[in-house]
Copies of this chain bind each other. A is one copy, B any other.
Amino acid sequence: MPNNPLVSDRNVEFLLYEVFDVEALCHLNAYEEHSRETFDLVLQNARKFAREVLFPTYKPMDEAPAQMVGGGIKVHPAMREVYPHLVDQGMVAATRPHEVGGQQLPHMVATVCALYGMAANLSAVSYLGLTAGAAHLIEAFGNEALKAEMMTRMYSGEWTGTMALTEPQAGSSLTDVKTRATPTERGHYLLRGNKVFISGGDHDLTENIVHLTLARIDEAPPGIKGVSLFAVPKKRLEGGKLVPNDVHCAGAFHKMGWRGIPSIALNLGENDDCQGWLVGEPHRGISYMFQMMNEARLMVGMQGIATASAAYHESLEYARTRPQGRPLTSKNPTTPQVPIIEHADVRRMLLRQKAIVEGALALGVQTARYADLAAHGATPDARRRAFLLLDMMTPIVKSFAAERGFESNALAVQIHGGYGYTSEYLPEAWLRDQKLNSLHEGTTCMHSMDLLGRKVVADQGGALRMLGEEIAAATARAASAGVDAGWGAALDRAVGTVGEVTMHLAGLGVAGQVEEMMCHSMDYLDLVSTVVVSWQWILQAAVAKEKLAESPSHASSDLYEGKICAAEYWIKTELPRVEQLAHLCRSGEGSYDRMNAAWF
């Protein structure tokens, strides 16, 4: 097994300190206790833990998924061993305020720390990622009793948490949730229903699990505005003791990846004794979920980036050490074979992976920065602006990482040749893991509809205008830094194209032609994602050029040259796709809209 760093430390430094200046956040009240020293310390801990403790557990857990034993799930022994150490890392409440036991770290730093863990063992880290999301829902919307009893135990890792949304008949369509909640006179509700695909929905890691559950209160109005949010523990506290709460594990799905964390079918209230506690107000469950969605979706984006990053570094190391074949111009069979990185097509595959992984990661850190400013920016205007940008970037980070990450993971298998197809090497496992990311937390199509139908038209197009300003600032900086003028010009034109296409499609929506507007939402998402990642590459190239100008024989000149080269690759290979995508969106090419179900 090659020596795999999982994530490039130097690239992380480049993004945090040279491109996005995370230290500037320390001027904000919320982060004033932090400094580069504290950031470096948590980063160093996260790296060491990911590489030395978590990564060795990945393959064993992939090979032997958690099992259903006597009505409950028994996790892999390695998971049980690693869990307390994971908790000690403080990941669950890393970004939460000190008052609730958190470290009050900027998302920018916490996100990158999580990235190392995800790259090392996605499933292991997810137990706590889900717990963090569930606890945060209680923190934001729950009453003091729920906070004291449940949130505190979840943030400390004593209990874990899940999101229990999906039902057999209600996957993407949450409006069709059927689980019932009947009020009682004792404050709690009695729940009855079936949930599926609940990640970490059962396990033997902790004594309790709190399911943040969507359900309908009896007599609730139909549809999305009749769905409420409940905290439903596996065991409830009675007289200081935990007793079973009529939450039953009906089985685990057999998954192609993410095999270290079970995906569970849960039956609630088989014996009419499943107690749940309302979180917030009745019928507002979906809006609460939506308010936390950016966090969860940004996390899925990071999962996609982490999975692609681990595989990129694995195939890079393989390409540098595996001898095979000779240069095209030197076919003398008596000369030694060369490392395959010498072949142009292998470098193409590696550069494509780098462009995807580091382009997506830059965007992920950029978006985490918006999350920090949305929460703690100095002025209401700054917070509003950051929130709109965060909101717009979230579906892009999530879906770009999932879709292009899958492509990138397939390239890592391809570079490994026949060996890549075997489980003696890791890339095939990461490829299997990656496929989930286009499905969970909203399919890619749902994100395309979210982007086009909600995000870019938010604030009367204000969000999109702000994005244009951010990109214009980057192209101006690139021009000053001496980045090839053609690249910035191409990006500026593409931004103009996005504006025109958006106006055209929004116009259809205003005219009531919603189906025509949304028909090419996937092409639209691809269009905007390509432009946004091009922005991140222009920005990285600008910073690299600035650094090289400071000192051409810079100790990091390899990094900077690589950034400029990857930017060139992306701008010349991917950005030109924009014109055709725009044409598809504008022309309303209607073959699949017209395609009759009987014609297939």
Contacts and interface: CB of A to CB of B under 8 A. Distances in A.
Given A324-B172, A417-B439, A577 B576 contact: no
A540 interface: no
A354 interface: yes
Contacts of A432: 256, 432
Contact of A325 (B173, B329, B518): B173
A595 B256 contact: no
20 contacts: A172-B325, A173-B325, A253-B421, A328-B518, A344-B518, A344-B519, A344-B592, A345-B521, A348-B592, A350-B592, A354-B600, A406-B410, A414-B444, A558-B596, A562-B595, A566-B591, A566-B595, A572-B591, A576-B580, A576-B583
A296 interface: no
B344 A515 contact: yes
A599 interface: yes
Contacts of A522: 345, 348
Nearest to A596: B561
- Specify which of A337, A339, A347, A445 lies most central, judged by the most chain B CB atoms within 10 Å of its CB: A347
A94 to B, nearest CB: 28
A584 B593 contact: no
Contacts of A196: 418
Nearest to A319: B597
Interface in A472-507: none
Contact of A422 (B254, B410, B417): B254
Given A323-B169, A591-B572, A414 B443 contact: yes
Interface in A210-244: 222-224
A594 B344 CA distance: 9
Contacts of A592: 344, 347-348, 350-351, 569
Contacts of A435: 410, 413, 421, 428, 431
A570 to B, nearest CB: 9
Given A345-B522, A347-B592, A421-B435, 5 more contacts: A255-B421, A351-B600, A414-B443, A417-B443, A569-B589
A487 B197 CA distance: 45
A343 B448 CA distance: 14
Contacts of A71: none
Nearest to A225: B333
- Copies of this chain present: 2
Contact of A423 (B172, B256, B350, B515): B256
- Specify which of A256, A326, A443 lies most central, judged by the most chain B CB atoms within 10 Å of its CB: A256
A341 interface: yes
A138 interface: no
B347 A593 contact: yes
Contact of A591 (B414, B438, B565): B565
Contacts of A576: 580, 583
A514 B345 contact: no
B420 A169 contact: no
A598 interface: yes
Contact of A329 (B406, B514, B568, B593): B514
A440 B413 contact: no
Interface string A304-336: 000000000000100010011111110111100
B445 A329 contact: no
A263 B420 CA distance: 13
Given A171-B417, A418-B171, A418-B440, A253 B599 contact: no
A2 to B, nearest CB: 14
A591 B562 contact: no
A565 B431 CA distance: 33
Contacts of A354: 600
Contacts of A223: 331-334
A175 interface: yes
A110 B559 CA distance: 55
A553 interface: no
Contact of A333 (B224, B344, B422, B572): B224
A569 B572 CA distance: 26
A57 interface: no
A424 interface: yes
